[in-house]
Amino acid sequence: MLKKLELENHLPLIAILRGIEPAEVLDAAKVLTEEGFTMIEVPLNSPEALNSIKLLADSYVDTDSNKYLVGAGTVTTLAEAEAVIDTGANLVVTPNLNIDVIKAAVQANCVCFPGIVTPSEAFSALAAGASGLKLFPASQVAYAGFKALKSVLPVGTLCFPVGGINAQSESMKPWLDIGANGFGLGAALYSAGMSMTQLRENAASFVAALNTAR
């Protein structure tokens, strides 16, 4: 079972396509992958989200290589997790800690990033087999909170702040300096109805900002 994400094989930026329609999801994925993205999530509160996720899974999931990780965000129940797994997705991201969701995702060989804020949530998520931790909302965890949390987490724990990250190195560097491994990117990368030209510009800006911040 895939419990640990080998991050060196991936650009450590998760594209969050909240609000995207099935008719445009493959166009968006093409833009993102051409700009270097390898991890894409469609939140389940997007229109016909499972259809979009299945399109992504059919096009990008290779169980032998896991070159691309595509799947769902905002997965809050076991039933939702099972529906996502049924699409063939290999990425499950949650806004909260739900042990049943984590265990189902790991059992299905999916990378799973549960949302956590507290040390108790973090350790419970890892004990259940989470691939890494989504610090959400990042503004609530804050730099000081994450620095303290990181000091007690097992060495090598992957941590991705999500919420409020923008395409400037100054937005990323403070997190990276205290141990963040990457970021989940929401509205600053994509918003519903955005043109593919704008998405490409945003994606390129985030990659450049990450490289500068590193």
Can the peptide bond before residue 137 be classed as cis, meaning omega within 30 degrees of 0? yes
β-bridge pairing 39-43 and 69-73: parallel
Is residue 101 in a domain?
Answer: yes
Is residue 2 in a domain?
Answer: no
Query: At residue 143, what is the residue type?
Result: Y
- Specify whether the CB–CB gap between 94 and 74 falls below 8 A: yes
Helix axis angle for 169-177 and 138-150, nearest 10°, is 30
pLDDT of 91 reads 97
Query: At residue 181, what is the residue type?
Result: N
Is residue 185 in a domain?
Answer: yes
As a whole number of angstroms, the distance between CA 1 and CA 84 comes to 17
- Specify whether the CB–CB gap between 109 and 84 falls below 8 A: no
What is the total count of domains within the chain? 1
Read off the pLDDT of residues 121-148 as tens digits, 9 standing for 90 and up: 999 999 999 999 999 999 999 999 999 9
Q: Which residue has the tokens 């990276």?
A: 176
Is residue 18 in a domain?
Answer: yes
Query: At residue 4, what is the residue type?
Result: K
Containing structural domain, residue 85: 7-213
Is residue 1 in a domain?
Answer: no
Read off the pLDDT of residues 81-92 as tens digits, 9 standing for 90 and up: 999 999 999 999
Let me know the angle formed at the C-alpha of 107 by 103 and 113, rounded to the nearest 5 degrees: 55
What residues are labeled active site? Answer: 41, 134
| pLDDT, one tens digit for every residue, the chain (214 residues) | 344 577 888 999 999 999 999 999 999 999 999 999 999 999 999 999 999 999 999 999 997 788 999 999 999 999 999 999 999 999 999 999 999 999 999 999 999 999 999 999 999 999 999 999 999 999 999 999 999 999 999 999 999 999 999 999 999 999 999 999 999 999 999 999 999 999 999 999 999 999 999 9
Burial 90-118 (b: 16+ CB within 10 A, else e): bbbbbbebbeebbbbbbebebbbbbbbbe
Specify the CATH number for the domain of residue 175: 3.20.20.70
Instruction: Write out the two tokens for 192.
Output: 């519903």
In the chain, what is the straight-line distance between the N-terminal and C-terminal CA atoms, in Å? Answer: 31
- Cβ burial of 26 (10 Å; 0-12, 13-18, 19+) is middle
Query: At residue 170, what is the residue type?
Result: E
Chain CA centroid to CA 15, Å: 7
Give the pTM.
Answer: 0.95
